[in-house]
Structure 1
Amino acid sequence: MWTLGLFRSELVTTFRRWRTLALLAVLAGVPILVGIAVKIETSGDSPAAGGGGGGPAFIAQITNNGLFLVFTALAATLPFFLPMAVGVVAGDAIAGEASAGTLRYLLVAPAGRTRLLLTKYAATMTFCLVATLVVAATALATGALLFPLGDVVTISGTRIGFGEGLVRALLIALVVAASLVGIAALGLFVSTLTNSGIAAMATTVGLLITVQILDQIPQLHAIQPYLFSHRWLSFADLMREPVYWDDLVKNLGLQGLYAAVFGSAAWARFTAKDITA
């Protein structure tokens, strides 16, 4: 009962912060901007969205089916915007309380350090899910408003019904949220190392950028499969018929490994830390 009360209190605190609301607003704005940009580009004679080239995955299909804006928005936000938002929330989890001088008062309550740490991580993972669903829901609404909806053509070239397409969109959103487990655990560990919330957030985002850069250097191909961001875009395999599970399973397994390693490191650090703030 105390754990549920603490978790509920943590959720209320997290989602009442203006910083959290601003992050969610930015994430919601990405699919709107992508949808408007595609609509403007395709409103004339030039079929810019259908040509080969850059842009997030599925962008060529948006004009034919607004549901593809969900997949495109998630592909556009996952490399940086979503993990950055999660890194900010995770980095502030413990360090923010310390910098505000409220951490020791939380520990005075019969929560215990382990329970408090688990509550902070659970709240961060809830934010992961909410942030991902905000992107997906905004993209679906924008896609329905600007483009037609209908049957979905998979990457394999087969056609599935709109209802099944919605189910796969939900599965993709859940996989994307689960893909952020690793960066959330890393951010929580960083948060236990300092009493400055800003330093913890900056360090977590800096590590995110560093890992993203390392993942793009061809000479480092030997270590890239072990980077938490390497298989983030494997969610696209859910749009194949049949679904390719290999990379999806490897991605989720890697995220679980990062969560176990950095979660344990965060617990070891936090339970032994001298709380002065």
Structure 2
Amino acid sequence: MPADPTATRATAPLGPTRGLGLGLVASEIAVLFRRTRTIAMLGALAAIPVLLAIAVRVTTSRDGSRGPAFLGDITQNGLFVSLTALTVAIPLFLPLTVGVVAGDTIAGEAGLGTLRYLLVAPAGRIRLLVVKYVGAAAFCAAGTLVIVVFGAIVGVLLFPVGPVTLLSGDTVGFAGYAGRMLLMALYVTISLLGLSAIGLFISTLTSVPVGAMAATIVLSTVAQIIGALPQLAFLQPWLFTNYWLGFADFFRSPISWENFGSNALLQLGYVVVFGFLAFGRFTTKDILS
């Protein structure tokens, strides 16, 4: 559901924070995470590791089967629940929720009729774009952390916990694994920044938030389909989804940072390109609502 007009206009930055828009950022994030829709989406993301762990637990207890190897790892060590849940969520569930938030950034305000009010002082068009994007990026981080944290909690409650064997064969304790999971969460958050920028741009093209949300989600799916087709392999390095599953490097010793750097650079390119496109569209757009 679009933003609550009273909540959106409720807080204006004062004093020294006004020039930087810090008050607007704080207000935007507060409004975003108070929305029932946002809470529901975070709840749905939290349910992924919980349902996954319960399903593995019940299945294993009933017939002793362990299923696929990566699910079998959960039964040996509950710390793998976060890793497995995040792997499951990246292709569909995280892009879906991020597409909803990013697609609603500008179009939601236009559809609700509050965009004109936001463009009156203290917010300008450029600052509003930046604030809306920061809010979408904050949701990317929150959604990823929710999966990791709830995965760790339910894994500890339902399965044995012990030292983790990495892909390289080395073993790390809980602290070392927790640090790698936080790096993985950072990696996934960065991976979603390009999609957020695309959603922001699409959101400036329409006053129908549902259309912007759907278009963003569809583009995410199309990019993953293209990346899976060998005939279009030449396009894969340029797709914002190309490095989404490259976090396996954090489970080696020593950690390889190659995919992290390549992914960050690729996402930065998408943020810059679609940020400028959003800027060009929004600063020349007639605001009628």
- For residue 147 of structure 1, the aligned residue among 149, 152, 159 is 159
Matched, 1:190 2:208: no
How much has 1:138 moved relative to structure 2? Answer: 0.7
How much has 1:242 moved relative to structure 2? Answer: 1.7
User: Which residue identity does 2:280 align to in structure 1?
Assistant: A
The aligned counterpart of 1:265 is 277
Which residues in structure 2 correspond to 1:42-121 (within 5 Å)? 42-49=60-67, 51-52=68-69, 58-121=70-133
Give the Cα–Cα distance (whole angstroms) in 1 for the partners of residues 248 and 65 of structure 2: 24
My pick for the range that moved more, 37-46 or 222-231, is 37-46
User: Which residue identity does 1:16 align to in structure 2?
Assistant: R
For residue 215 of structure 1, give the secondary structure of its aligned residue in structure 2.
Answer: helix
Unaligned runs of 5+ in 2: 1-16
Matched, 1:10 2:22: no
For residue 62 of structure 1, give the secondary structure of its aligned residue in structure 2.
Answer: helix
Give the Cα–Cα distance (whole angstroms) in 1 for the partners of residues 239 and 278 of structure 2: 19
My pick for the range that moved more, 224-233 or 92-101, is 224-233
Which residues in structure 2 correspond to 1:105-254 (within 5 Å)? 105-254=117-266
The aligned counterpart of 1:38 is 56
How much has 1:41 moved relative to structure 2? Answer: 2.2
TM-score using structure 2 length: 0.91
Q: Deviations over 1:114-144 (max 9, x none)?
A: 1111000001101111111111111011101
Give the Cα–Cα distance (whole angstroms) in 2 for the partners of residues 60 and 264 of structure 1: 46
Q: Deviations over 1:190-246 (max 9, x none)?
A: 000111111111111111111121111111111012111111010111011122222
Consecutive aligned runs of 4 or more in structure 1 exceeding 2 Å deviation: 44-47
Q: Deviations over 1:161-209 (max 9, x none)?
A: 1110111111111111111010000000000011111111111111111
User: Which residue identity does 2:110 align to in structure 1?
Assistant: A
Give the Cα–Cα distance (whole angstroms) in 1 for the partners of residues 240 and 258 of structure 2: 16
The aligned counterpart of 2:10 is none
The aligned counterpart of 1:55 is none
Give the Cα–Cα distance (whole angstroms) in 1 for the partners of residues 279 and 217 of structure 2: 21
Unaligned runs of 5+ in 1: 53-57
Give the Cα–Cα distance (whole angstroms) in 2 for the partners of residues 234 and 253 of structure 1: 14
TM-score using structure 1 length: 0.95
User: Which residue identity does 1:259 align to in structure 2?
Assistant: V
Q: Deviations over 1:53-106 (max 9, x none)?
A: xxxxx4332111111111111111011111111111000000000000000000
- How many residues were matched structurally? 271
Cα root mean square deviation, aligned: 1.2
For residue 114 of structure 1, give the secondary structure of its aligned residue in structure 2.
Answer: helix
Give the Cα–Cα distance (whole angstroms) in 1 for the partners of residues 126 and 189 of structure 2: 24
Give the Cα–Cα distance (whole angstroms) in 2 for the partners of residues 47 and 170 of structure 1: 31
How much has 1:45 moved relative to structure 2? Answer: 4.8
Identity value in percent: 50
Give the Cα–Cα distance (whole angstroms) in 2 for the partners of residues 38 and 233 of structure 1: 22
Give the Cα–Cα distance (whole angstroms) in 2 for the partners of residues 187 and 42 of structure 1: 41
My pick for the range that moved more, 222-231 or 245-254, is 245-254
